[in-house]
Chain A
Amino acid sequence: MKPIIQCRDLSKRFGSKTVLQQLSFELEPGDVAALIGPNGAGKTTLFSILCGYLRPDSGSVSLFGHPAGSSALFGKVAALAQDAQFDPAFSIGEQLNFYGRLQGLSRKAAHEETLRVLALVDLADQVQQKAAALSHGMRKRAAIAQAFIGSPQLILLDEPTAGLDPVNALHIRQLISHLSGDVSFMISSHNIFELEQLCNKVLYLEQGKLQAEAAGDTDKQQCYLTLQLEDDNAGAVTQALRQLPGLTDIRLLQKKELLLCYEPQQNANFDLALLQCLAANGLRYRNLTKGQTLEQKLFSAR
């Protein structure tokens, strides 16, 4: 299968500051990749290079086998660029119509497409409004809507839910989840829980370097269970669980959260045994999650 994004030894400097260093990765069709990293890690720079807004100083980048920014990618690659705003002189509807026309749609098809994508982000009734008349969250949703015009095969979303209220953030997540499979996504966000729900691949950037590249569920991850307790009795629970066959390690992550590591070869039904043990000892739990959270995977060893 041909990769849809292929980056090789990508480097970018702004003056004396190195923003990206020898970055290499690939994305397969259907991937929903998370781009994570602290502020200033180079996430937006990488997005800008992938969109063709910036040129790398060295290395190569290709999307669907074409250089970033190539005319062959028009309509195929869409993006929510950080801080990109609509023209204040025209209504949102007029501008989305115009984008549709640029993507090769007829006048009628562009109008229908505008209504469709605005409905996707729950803004169908704002088609006549100018950007200045919309709230920050609505403008963000309109900017997300433009990325769905036509039938893009890859959508790059730079912090898509930042600044959105919880209901709309959930709505956008559901939208991405619904479209994933047919469309590949690359999503940058500081909301790790959101990325955990949506993404099957994680790229962790720090100081311009790719510090970790993780695939979604692997066998190794099956050896972990994250247990959230109802009561503040981690000590008693730890003592009770130590007797379970197959348990190799138990760690207190937070006041009421434990990470259990076990060997499935020794105890294939470890999770069932754990629940039985808790019930037998009268210990209450709130949540049991298979595997480590993305946050634990990325940051527990740091």
Chain B
Amino acid sequence: MAVSAMPHLKQTLQHCGLYAGFELRRLWLTRRGLMTLAATTVIWFFLLRYAIAPAADVIASDGFQQLFRDMFGSFGLNQLFAWPAPELAIYWILSLLLLPLLCLFFTANQLCSDAERGTLRLLALRSSRLSIVLGRFAGQMLVQGCLILLSLAATLSLAAWREGGLTLPMLHAAAVIAVNLLLVLLPFTALMSCFSAMVRSSRLAVSLAIVSLGLMFALLSWFIFYFPDFLFLLGYLPGTQVIQLLPLQGWQTLQHALLPLLQTLVLLSAASLLLTRKAL
């Protein structure tokens, strides 16, 4: 049984790699991909120019740091000053809060356009639907990884320009940020896999995702109001670890990695099941 499953596993992994590579080509070599890059550049230009750069100057001043410690020290947010560059601290906060939302929009079209135009029929004759779901998901993670690395590189350049050079702790912190952001984005991207497997329009997939997340939060809050013992359930919603991650830094952030990984596993299984049962 295990021996017969091996060729399937190998083929699935090969197909996932091909799909992921194809999505990377879509980012770098197609008009739509270049538009995504341009949109990301514009967003990050404004964030760097009008938020991160001025905020970094303010944060770097001793007076502000003392004031901030007095106000938020008890919440652990004073840890933000421990980042090797204030630009990275601001980037960390902004991207943790902003990227999950942007992710819903950027990754909404994993399957729906292909289903609508019938391209999935051409693919389903050559690879399993599991490969399609996993490959497209891996492709979206690679694409987001590229976008995160580009924006991090811009933030590091800003920090290096202000500090007068790039240091090893800065690069180390940037690596921590990149890994954690990808972990945070995993369940959101998997969630969009589910919704894009369900519907035939990316706009509808985004709407469904926002409504479902909002509704789930509202229902849970209402439930917890009457049954406070179940407060822990809120912690299982995608992205709830973001608040806990904010005051952390270094590789200790990975203590919150298990939940998004498990959420991703569950959501990808659901996406695969949805696409397998879907009429193409």
Contact = CB atoms under 8 A, between A and B. Distances in A.
A81 B121 contact: yes
Interface residues of A, number: 30
A73 B114 CA distance: 22
A102 B18 contact: yes
B136 interface: no
Given A53-B279, A71-B8, A98-B22, A86 B125 contact: no
Main secondary structure of the interface of B (DSSP, over half): helix
B6 interface: no
A146 B122 contact: yes
A88 B118 CA distance: 12
Given A84-B121, A89-B31, A98-B18, A48 B8 contact: no
B279 A48 contact: yes
Contacts of A87: 114, 117, 119
Contacts of A103: 126
Contacts of A101: 18
B249 to A, nearest CB: 39
Contacts of A86: 119, 122
Interface residues of B, number: 26
A196 to B, nearest CB: 28
B171 interface: no
Nearest to A147: B125
A75 B123 CA distance: 11
Contacts of B118: 81, 83-85
B124 A52 contact: yes
A99 B32 contact: no
Interface in B98-144: 114, 117-119, 121-128
Contact of A84 (B26, B122, B128): B122
A81 B122 contact: yes
A89 B122 CA distance: 16
Centre residue among A51, A77, A87 by max chain B CB count within 10 A: A87
Interface string B9-36: 0010001001000100110001111000
Given A83-B118, A85-B119, A98-B18, A74 B31 contact: no
A51 B121 CA distance: 8
Given A74-B125, A81-B118, A90-B25, 7 more contacts: A48-B280, A53-B124, A54-B279, A73-B125, A74-B126, A78-B125, A87-B117
Which 9 residue pairs of A and B lie closest in terms of their CB atoms, listed nearest first?
A: A84-B118, A53-B280, A102-B126, A81-B121, A89-B30, A84-B121, A85-B117, A54-B279, A102-B127
Interface of B: 8, 11, 15, 18, 22, 25-26, 30-33, 114, 117-119, 121-128, 277, 279-280
Interface of A: 48, 51-55, 69, 71, 73-75, 77-79, 81, 83-90, 94, 98-99, 101-103, 146
